[in-house]
A = this chain, B = another copy of it.
Amino acid sequence: MSVTADQLAEIDRLRAEMQPTRRATAPALEEILYQAWPVLDHGFVRVIDYMGDDGAVVQAARVSYGRGTRQVSEDAGLIRYLMRHRHSTPFEMCEIKFHVKLPIFVARQWIRHRTANVNEYSARYSVLDREFYLPAPGQLCAQASDNRQGRGDALSPAQSARVLGMLKADSENAYAHYEEMLNQREDGTPLDPGQDGLARELARINLSLNYYTQWYWKIDLHNLLHFLSLRVDAHAQYEIRVYAEAMLDMVKRWVPQVHAAFLEYRLGGAELSASGLRVVRRLLAGEALTQEASGMNKREWRELMTTLGRDQ
């Protein structure tokens, strides 16, 4: 992880200060507030601020349903009810702000989620750090043969080493030329005092997609859970999934009851299509159904059988 010395000092300073507040607090999240959680080789994610807790979800629901919620005596039960019935607005009443350092190609996937607020480090204003992502050797996998966008088996050690060598050499070369175009060393002094430097907004275009950027990213809990459900999924690219997994742990510290309901009704559950539901009903009725007789195509049938735990 590449937190700078300045950043570490700032984190320590912020963590040392405690203020009194009348707002709801989430003590388990306060414990790790501001701390950087390492992800990939130079990245991190850390919580900078938050608003609300499990109680805020309940409180919002009770405003909506008025006297109607007096029946539900217990908060955890109400949260489960809201999650189960896909009520979204009470979960929007909590907000969280992260500081994330991440490779640009990950940032490009991430930013597609539009319902968030973002302040990204601008390479028009400032010079990017010499930090680029190199996959761990075990992550260097072949293109999956059965999936247009996934990874298959690991490459051979020799091939893996060659790939890493190319990535490393090209990244270093790109940065050396970036500095040369800027006519500026890392400490800000010019390489050649007799020359101008190329505008930063242009020099940066020589850097590759594995260079790190960073941003503040703020989102409400409902949209965060949606983001996480897509990005902790096995089909998400590994390099974004590791961020999502770290953030899911932070959600557990923040709103443990919402986290539990999310596992029960989203991550651990399953969706059946109309055809899939008909198949389940017929199987439960004792029919010895085959794919051919089911009306489903082979791929959907296979996925359904996997969901149902019936190996073929």
Binding site for B on A (CB under 8 A): 14-15, 17-25, 30, 33-34, 49-52, 56, 59-61, 63-69, 71, 84, 89-90, 92-93, 95, 97, 99, 103-105, 107-108, 111-112, 114-115, 117-122, 124-127, 133, 135, 139-144, 148-153, 155-156, 159, 163, 166-167, 170-171, 173-174, 177, 180-182, 195-202, 204-210, 214-216, 218, 220, 237, 263-265, 267-277, 280-281, 283-285, 300, 307-310
CA gap between A285 and B144 in the complex, in Å: 33
| Chain B, Cβ-Cβ closest to A56 | B49
How distant is A113 from chain B, measured CB to nearest CB, in Å? 9
Distance to closest chain B CB from A272 (angstroms) = 5
Which B-chain residue is minimally distant from A286 (CB atoms)? B286
A217: min CB distance to chain B, Å: 10
On whether the beta carbons of A265 and B269 are closer than 8 Å, the reply is no
B64 touching A153 by the CB < 8 A rule? Answer: no
Contacts of A151 in B (CB 8 A): 199, 201-202
Q: Find chain B residues with CB under 8 A from A89 CB.
A: 117-119
Supply 20 A–B pairs (Cβ within 8 Å), ascending by A: A15-B22, A51-B97, A63-B216, A67-B127, A69-B125, A71-B148, A93-B216, A95-B95, A112-B118, A149-B201, A152-B196, A156-B196, A159-B198, A166-B206, A170-B170, A170-B174, A173-B173, A209-B209, A269-B272, A271-B272
**B265:A273 contact, CB within 8 angstroms:** yes
Q: Are B51 and A141 in contact (CB under 8 A)?
A: no
